[in-house]
């Protein structure tokens, strides 16, 4: 089943559990990360090879998975540092990061000229669902390029939806995070206002979860990461702000009314400035309380 050899760049909060699920499914994975500590976390796993560079990881695979911070890093790697020119015809670049859809579409076109396939397959569900292999994966690319990598994606995710051509997966991902981030801010503002009125925020959230205000934040984040003040969901606030920037500029490019997206982006950018570097995105609650 697992003839495809996987290269994996970016072994952070998401990349590590995703690699473990690929190994569990029987794939051989050669991985690289700039941070040697995360590389050594995986080096004891059967089927995992730690590569000494991006080039080594890319040379030994059929499918090169990217789970990197953003399009700037990816474009620098592929074009400025020349990785694209070192890939072989017929290889697939599978970008599972939350990248910019326009950059991804350009990457697909430029890689196609080198006979390299590009598929975008960003994920949703956070670290928890990366660990249990139940990520939601939205896929962009040509069907002929997507189908061969479907078993690879099935090892990491549960709901796979092929949403369109190259870049479409990244567009849907940014829009999903816009909707999610808007809901998160609304919940924070509501909880803080209720608390100031003397209402226990745990009870408020209990009511939301039994009412029409229920959303992913009320169900999974309020108790675990916000009211507990742990702020350790594993998804950085800076990455959420980046996703909102992507969504807001995408909405603008599509000439769609985006007043709410602009406000949402501004709120997240203010939180990023106000909180410590490296803050988790659930620390938005702390930011709203502190203002």
- Give the binding site for ligand NAD (CB under 6 A): 9-15, 32-35, 38, 54, 67-70, 73, 77, 97-98, 123-124, 126-127, 234-235, 239, 243
Helix axes 168-196, 101-112, angle to 10 degrees: 160
Helix axes 201-209, 168-196, angle to 10 degrees: 130
- What radius of gyration do the chain's Cα atoms show? 20
Q: How far is the CB of 131 from ligand NAD (least distance, A)?
A: 11
- Which CB, 52 or 255, lies closer to ligand NAD? 52
239, 281 Cβ separation under 8 angstroms? yes
- Which CB, 77 or 190, lies closer to ligand NAD? 77
Q: Minimal CB distance to ligand NAD: which residue?
A: 12
- Which CB, 187 or 204, lies closer to ligand NAD? 187
Is 214 one of the annotated active-site residues of the chain?
no
Angstrom distances, CA of residue 190 to CA of 199, 200, 201, 211: 11, 12, 9, 14
Q: How far is the CB of 117 from ligand NAD (least distance, A)?
A: 20
- Which CB, 50 or 204, lies closer to ligand NAD? 50
Q: How far is the CB of 84 from ligand NAD (least distance, A)?
A: 14
Distance from C-alpha of 89 to C-alpha of 22, rounded to nearest angstrom: 24
Q: How far is the CB of 182 from ligand NAD (least distance, A)?
A: 17
According to DSSP, residue 33 is labeled -
- Of 128, 173, 221, 242, the active-site residue reads 173
183, 217 Cβ separation under 8 angstroms? yes
Active site residues: 173
């Amino acid at each position: 089943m697992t003839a495809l050899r996987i290269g994996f760049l970016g072994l952070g909060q998401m990349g590590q559990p995703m690699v473990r699920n690929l190994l569990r499914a029987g794939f051989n994975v050669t991985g690289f990360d700039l941070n040697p500590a995360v590389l050594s976390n995986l080096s004891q796993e059967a089927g995992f090879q730690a590569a000494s560079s991006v080039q080594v990881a890319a040379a030994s695979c059929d499918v090169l998975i990217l789970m990197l911070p953003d399009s700037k890093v990816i474009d620098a790697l592929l074009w400025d540092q020349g990785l694209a020119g070192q890939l072989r015809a017929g290889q697939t670049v599978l970008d599972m990061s939350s990248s910019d859809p326009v950059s991804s579409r350009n990457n697909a076109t430029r890689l196609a000229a080198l006979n390299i396939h590009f598929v975008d397959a960003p994920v949703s569900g956070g670290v928890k669902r990366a660990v249990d292999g139940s990520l939601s994966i939205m896929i962009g690319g040509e069907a002929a390029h997507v189908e061969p990598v479907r078993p690879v994606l099935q090892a990491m995710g549960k709901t796979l939806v092929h949403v369109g051509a190259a870049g479409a997966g990244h567009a849907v991902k940014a829009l999903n995070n816009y909707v999610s981030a808007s809901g998160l801010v609304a919940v924070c503002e509501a909880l803080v206002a209720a608390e100031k009125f003397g209402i226990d925020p745990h009870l408020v959230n209990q009511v939301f979860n039994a009412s029409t205000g229920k959303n992913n934040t009320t169900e999974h984040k309020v108790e675990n990461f916000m009211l507990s003040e742990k702020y350790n969901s594993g998804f950085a606030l800076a990455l959420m702000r980046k996703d909102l920037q992507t969504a807001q500029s995408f909405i603008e490019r599509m000439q769609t009314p985006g007043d709410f997206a602009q406000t949402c982006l501004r709120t997240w950018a203010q939180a990023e400035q106000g909180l410590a570097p490296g803050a988790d995105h659930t620390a938005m609650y702390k930011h709203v309380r502190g203002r």
